[in-house]
A and B are shown apart, each in its own frame.
Chain A
Amino acid sequence: NAGVTQTPKFRVLKTGQSMTLLCAQDMNHEYMYWYRQDPGMGLRLIHYSVGEGTTAKGEVPDGYNVSRLKKQNFLLGLESAAPSQTSVYFCASSYTGKETQYFGPGTRLLVL
């Protein structure tokens, strides 16, 4: 039982490059979330999903896209990376929208 996993752990991008972050969970959770963590700003919700095939915007969705083709996977895409997207990205999942969230280990992204 791996819980929530994220790949990659660390990535450096140049401005304008694209990449996809993968989140996987083996707990059969319906809800999945992508957050970014920045100093002094806590966790901010980028996008979320309440089930396979569904996605919705969170607090800071601009510049990101997501997909949930399989229940266990939630992908976060950056089409054209910008230095403002330098951050630590956390994926989380939960059974419902009011239960405990389980977090992945995070992905550190540096955009030059």
Chain B
Amino acid sequence: AQRVTQPEKLLSVFKGAPVELKCNYSYSGSPELFWYVQYSRQRLQLLLRHISRESIKGFTADLNKGETSFHLKKPFAQEEDSAMYYCALSTGTYKYIFGTGTRLKVLA
């Protein structure tokens, strides 16, 4: 079955500390993976996707097909990074599968 798992509902870190939001997927084909971010009371917006291999707002994510993971990382968290983060999998047709999300709180 196709599935996206984000094991942490809430992740709290101190400002300046490294951040890693975990995402694991289950899909037998060639996945397209995305990270979306939702700031408080705002719409979801794309943070990054694996094929672009770029860094957005200091965040990076590497697709590890062996471990079926697409963890989101940032070396030094900022208070403005506090938000809800969703990992999503596209199977290439119409279908996107979203994880349940991880709320990141960056403490001063």
Contact = CB atoms under 8 A, between A and B. Distances in A.
Nearest to A94: B96
Nearest to B92: A98
Kindly name the residue among B49, B90, B91 whose own CB sees the greatest number of chain A CB atoms within 10 A.
Answer: B90
Interface residues of A, number: 23
A77 B96 CA distance: 22
Given A56-B94, A97-B95, A103 B32 contact: no
Interface in A79-111: 90, 92, 97-98, 100-101, 103-106
B86 interface: yes
B92 A40 contact: no
Kindly name the residue among B36, B93, B94, B98 whose own CB sees the greatest number of chain A CB atoms within 10 A.
Answer: B94
A41 B96 contact: no
Interface string B81-104: 000001010111111101111000
Contacts, number: 52
Given A90-B44, A104-B43, A98 B98 contact: no
Interface of A: 4, 31, 33, 35, 40-45, 48, 50, 56, 90, 92, 97-98, 100-101, 103-106
Enumerate the 9 nearest inter-chain pairs by beta-carbon distance, A residue then B residue, closest first: A42-B100, A43-B98, A97-B94, A103-B44, A103-B43, A98-B90, A105-B43, A98-B92, A42-B98
13 contacts: A31-B94, A33-B96, A41-B100, A43-B44, A90-B43, A97-B90, A97-B94, A97-B95, A98-B92, A100-B34, A101-B44, A101-B88, A103-B45
